[in-house]
Amino acid sequence: MTSASRNFGRWATAAIWVLTPFVAGPCLAQALDPRSASFRHTATVGLWALWGIGLLAALVPSTVSLTVIRVIAPASLPITIWAVLASTDRADATSSIALAITSLVSVVSLSAVVGDRFVNGSSYGDERRMPLRAPAPLLFGPIELAWAAVVVGAIAGPLLLATRRWILGSIVLVIGWLLASVCLRALHGLSQ
């Protein structure tokens, strides 16, 4: 691996991730505007928390960071798609740029170069770790379902509670977070 690809793997995700609140933020703000204040505040705090966690993970290469960035960065794309579809200005330049940047950060975070750099961030001294490919049967469904379970399981409960659906929100929160933790552990096993 060349030094240019090592540097790309080290800094590309963080450089693109820094841009996401500036390009996707206006779309998200417009999509959240007609919602209730508690939903809007919960979503805003959650989005900023995820962005901060994603930035920290992108700046500190390790296998744990690789798992975090490969869950959070691709989640920005469906969130942005929802925001564009929920807003009134679907075809403006801001929406197009937001979709382009979140697509780019998703692709870069899932790239082999980033995976190699982050896996080797956990190595000792001159040790060189070779990341393994995920087994083929897992690539066509189980990994994607586990990722969706982590993302939806983590955010559905708090958002339901923000809309004052106390019983359903509490049940979804407990079950969703348990399911998210199990699936996140399984996804992390593929990053080591």
Judgement on whether residues 126 and 153 belong to the same structural domain of the protein: no
Cα–Cα distance measured from residue 11 to residue 8, given in angstroms and rounded to the nearest whole number: 5
Of 90, 113, 131, which residue sits at a domain end? 131
- pLDDT range class, residue 105, cuts 50, 70, 90: very high
Of 84, 110, 131, which residue sits at a domain end? 131
Q: Is the dihedral of CA 177, 156, 78, 93 positive or negative?
A: negative
Q: Which domain holds residue 182?
A: 134-192
Cα–Cα distance measured from residue 97 to residue 162, given in angstroms and rounded to the nearest whole number: 30
**How do the residues of the chain divide into helix, strand and coil, expressed in percent and rounded to 5?**
80, 0, 20
Mean pLDDT within 167-182: 93
Three-class SS of 71-111: HHHHHHHHHHHHHHHHCCCCCCHHHHHHHHHHHHHHHHHCC
Using alpha carbons, select from 3, 2, 8 the residue that is nearest to residue 109: 8
Residues 128-158, buried b or exposed e (16+ Cβ, 10 A)?
eeebeeeeeeeeeeebeebbebbbbbbbbbb
Judgement on whether residues 149 and 175 belong to the same structural domain of the protein: yes
Judgement on whether residues 68 and 144 belong to the same structural domain of the protein: no
Mean pLDDT of the chain: 87
Structure-token match 């990341």, residue found: 131
Judgement on whether residues 4 and 73 belong to the same structural domain of the protein: yes
Judgement on whether residues 71 and 155 belong to the same structural domain of the protein: no
Judgement on whether residues 149 and 171 belong to the same structural domain of the protein: yes
- pLDDT range class, residue 158, cuts 50, 70, 90: very high
Model confidence pLDDT, tens digit, residues 17-58: 999 999 998 888 888 888 888 989 999 999 999 999 999 999
Judgement on whether residues 18 and 32 belong to the same structural domain of the protein: yes
Of 111, 131, 151, which residue sits at a domain end? 131
Judgement on whether residues 115 and 178 belong to the same structural domain of the protein: no
Judgement on whether residues 45 and 29 belong to the same structural domain of the protein: yes
Mean pLDDT within 78-100: 86
Say what the pLDDT of residue 142 is.
87
Domain count, the chain: 2
- pLDDT range class, residue 95, cuts 50, 70, 90: confident
Judgement on whether residues 76 and 124 belong to the same structural domain of the protein: yes
Judgement on whether residues 77 and 28 belong to the same structural domain of the protein: yes
Strands, DSSP E only, in the chain?
Answer: none
Rounded to two decimals, the pTM is: 0.85
133 φ, ψ to 5°? Answer: -80, 150
Judgement on whether residues 11 and 96 belong to the same structural domain of the protein: yes
Model confidence pLDDT, tens digit, residues 55-88: 999 998 888 999 899 999 999 999 999 999 888 7
